[in-house]
Amino acid sequence: EELLERENKSAELIVRSLDPLNAEPPLDLLRRSHITANRLFFVRNHAPVPQIDPRSYRLHVNGLVRRELQLSLDELRREFPIRTIVATLQCAGNRRQELMRFKPIPDEIEWHAGAIGTAEWRGVSLRDVLRAAEVLDEAQHVAFLGLDRVRKKDLEFGFGGSIPLEKALSPEVILAFEMNGEPLPPAHGFPLRVVVPGYIGARSVKWLGQITLQKTPSENYFQARAYKIFAPHVTAETADWDRGLTLGELPISSVICSPQDGSEVEAGPLSIKGYALSSGGRSIERVEVSLDGGESWTIAELEPERGRWAWRFWEATLVVDRGEREIVARAWDSAANTQPEEARRIWNFKGYVNNAWHRIWVKVK
């Protein structure tokens, strides 16, 4: 609790690890507001939060550029148009717990469905900064490097990753210095982080120190090794790492936030609420809820869309009878993408991007 308080975090967060801090909000709290309060926003750290002096801080832009840049925070604010965007961030490990129920995933964080949140990010467009650096024609990937120090065996290195240049030039990708009207909190990357809407959270590098334009994707452990997906039969021992699918864009998903899994509810009309997130910036067109394992579905009410890159809240009221009941939800987007039926069919030994139909059980009294 002391540590949560020190990081300006709600005592209601569920702590998954203390050092480094990893925590997520309970789903009913998460579902209360379309914008997630900073105190409730999940934290995913691979190393201790670095202390950075904002006066001496410089963002370095280098690699395949005509002009290398070293920008202070003041220069960033002064020399580029300020932009805000409401965007949802989701960890690739969100909903790993459901995969772990099927088969264990050792050494990974057992996230429920709260490793996701939506904030209003304020900063400058990565695109504007890249323009100022004059990117060379050969450049195809934009690599980010954080100022935190991750330890793996005998190695110590900064957390990093990359995105394709094409995505980096899209207007939604922001170098953010504010989160929900406050300076970026230390746990979320003070003084500067990149926010890559629509991509796994890992690409939104915090405590951003360096941006490098290159021909190939980042060689950083978190791009070249971790965050790859394999078929269910592949294990850590049998994996050919070069053949894993490197995660980037998130798939479509939806989650029931209330009632919570395992809770008791009363017979009669039951309000079921949740969130849905689309892929590729498409819109969520429909969310469906089923009480009979997917034989029949009721269409949920969608809250108005608030920006292409934010989740969409939904609600359905269904009549439930006494007994143990399963409630299932799934979403559809504007390209008619929908979710796979069973988590076990997409089980992967690192436990990433589980977007199966969300299933909860309630005891109806």
Which residue in 97, 162, 180, 204 binds ligand MTE (CB under 6 A)? 204
Q: Which does residue 143 bind out of ligand MTE, Mo ion, none, counting CB within 5 to 8 angstroms by kind?
A: none
Which residue in 44, 96, 325, 359 binds Mo ion (CB under 5 A)? 44
CA-wise closest residue to 197 among 314, 90, 304: 90
Nearer to Mo ion, 91 or 168 (CB): 91
Residues between 246 and 305 with contacts to Mo ion, criterion CB under 5 A = none
CA distance 332 to 231: 24
Does 30 sit near ligand MTE (CB under 6 A)?
no
283 DSSP 8-state letter = P
261 touches 28 (CB < 8 A): no
CA distance 88 to 362: 28
Which residue in 4, 23, 30, 43 binds ligand MTE (CB under 6 A)? 43
CA distance 120 to 184: 11
Does 43 sit near Mo ion (CB under 5 A)?
no
Range in contact with ligand MTE (rule: CB under 6 A) among 35-43, 98-106, 272-280, 329-337: 35-43
124 touches 174 (CB < 8 A): yes
Minimum gap (Å) between residue 342 Cβ and ligand MTE: 24
Does 91 sit near Mo ion (CB under 5 A)?
yes
CA distance 313 to 64: 41
Nearer to ligand MTE, 121 or 230 (CB): 121
Does 36 sit near ligand MTE (CB under 6 A)?
no
CA distance 226 to 157: 14
Q: Which does residue 96 bind out of Mo ion, ligand MTE, none, counting CB within 5 to 8 angstroms by kind?
A: none
Residue written as token pair 């436990």: 351
CB neighbour list of residue 304: distance below 8 Å, 6 or more residues apart: none
CA distance 117 to 193: 16
Does 116 sit near ligand MTE (CB under 6 A)?
no
Alpha carbon separation from 267 to 13, 153, 256, 332 (Å, rounded): 30, 54, 18, 29
| Dihedral of alpha carbons 226, 230, 232, 235, sign | negative
Minimum gap (Å) between residue 37 Cβ and Mo ion: 20
Q: Which does residue 46 bind out of ligand MTE, Mo ion, none, counting CB within 5 to 8 angstroms by kind?
A: ligand MTE
CA-wise closest residue to 248 among 227, 264, 272: 227
Does 159 sit near ligand MTE (CB under 6 A)?
yes
Which residue in 160, 189, 201, 209 binds Mo ion (CB under 5 A)? 201
Site string for ligand MTE, 64-103 (x = CB under 6 A): -------------------------x-x------------
181 DSSP 8-state letter = T
Nearer to ligand MTE, 146 or 217 (CB): 146
Which residue in 16, 206, 325, 350 binds ligand MTE (CB under 6 A)? 206
CA-wise closest residue to 252 among 311, 182, 328: 311
Range in contact with ligand MTE (rule: CB under 6 A) among 40-48, 51-59, 210-218, 298-306: 40-48
Does 202 sit near Mo ion (CB under 5 A)?
yes
Binding site residues, ligand MTE, CB under 6 A: 41-46, 89, 91, 146, 148, 159, 188, 201-202, 204-207
Binding site residues, Mo ion, CB under 5 A: 44, 91, 201-202
